Amino acid sequence: MIPKGDIPTVTLETKCWEGDYKRILGSRRLRTLAESNMYPFSERWLMINNVNSYTRVCKLAEAAVNERWITRYVLVEEHAKEALEFFQLDRDSLGVGYVYSIAELVSLFLCKSEFLLHFAGDCLPKQPCDWIPEALALLESDTRVKVANLSWICPHSPPYLEATDIHEDFYVGYGFSDQCYMVRTADFRQPIYSEQNAASSRYPGYGGELFEKRVDSWMRNHGHLRATYRHGAYEHESGPRSLKGSIRHYAGMLKQTVRRLSPGLLPTKKCVGGLNGN
């Protein structure tokens, strides 16, 4: 466990674009995001990308800074070239996935905190949840776990279906989503985004070789796991995955069944409880 009084630094980060900046900056949403995660964040960032009028959006973002809902806003394109060079990527290799990836890459490139917590612009905790201290403790104690997140809400693919271990507070298994993730900055501020894995083909084709697909490949190739908090969830305003999407998702996962069950990756004795409880 993390010693009492020794609080790791965490940057809270989210993003906006032309399609959602009015909703994010025209309400108390940024304040709600910070308060719902119930942690004394060292920084609270808004990544701004792909908007028609940067002048208009920056004026709204400056107001959010003045309200102390965020501590900084970042114009993604100002740092994109340097971030891509740092991660040994280029815009052509990302293809159509560039617009779904560059804000995440820039935030990791710029982050100076020990950990970074990301929420997509259309995601919020369903209700206030004091989950971060337990997640940080697990990230510190289990070197296999590289990502922690709240549970997602989807009747066709609940989190426990992707777990190899079930702890008292977490479902632990393979997978990654760019909707919500908390990571150790040092782990992800590395040139790790050029790997491939067959199971990662389950991500939507329209996103191309996007960030979350690349992270998933790296994690699977090296046996890295994510921990999904059992007692709190986030809502995705675009709605849960469809049944067809869930079938495609799990078809991709089946490609890696043999690897998942190989020695060293079997469920451990830390597993407690059954598959049906939050």
Closest CA to 59 of 20, 27, 25: 25
Residue 48 and residue 106 in contact, taking contact as beta carbons nearer than 8 Å: no
For 182, list phi and psi in degrees, rounded to 5. -120, 130
So what's the pLDDT on residue 201? 92
With a CB cutoff of 8 Å and minimum separation 6, the contacts of 7 are 40
The beta strand positions in 23-96, using DSSP E, are 43-48, 72-75
* pLDDT > 70 in the chain, percent: 83
pLDDT in tens, 221-251: 999 999 999 999 999 986 444 344 434 433 4
Side-chain half-sphere exposure of 87, counting CA atoms within 13 A: 30
Please, which pLDDT band fits residue 16 given cuts at 50, 70 and 90? very high
Q: Which residue has the higher pLDDT, 202 or 135?
A: 135
Of 4-8, 42-46, 62-66, 205-209, the least confident: 4-8
pLDDT in tens, 58-88: 999 999 999 999 999 999 999 999 999 999 9
Residue 37 and residue 124 in contact, taking contact as beta carbons nearer than 8 Å: no
So what's the pLDDT on residue 274? 26
- The CATH number of domain 10-260, selected from 3.90.550.10, 3.60.150.10, 3.40.50.2300, 3.40.30.10: 3.90.550.10
So what's the pLDDT on residue 161? 86
Mean pLDDT of 3-14: 84
Distance CA 183, CA 276 (A): 27
pLDDT in tens, 254-266: 443 344 444 444 3
Please, which pLDDT band fits residue 5 given cuts at 50, 70 and 90? low
So what's the pLDDT on residue 204? 86
- Does the structure show a pLDDT above 90 at 158? no
- Does the structure show a pLDDT above 60 at 2? no
Of 98-102, 207-211, 248-252, the least confident: 248-252
Closest CA to 24 of 79, 75, 70: 70
- Does the structure show a pLDDT above 90 at 1? no
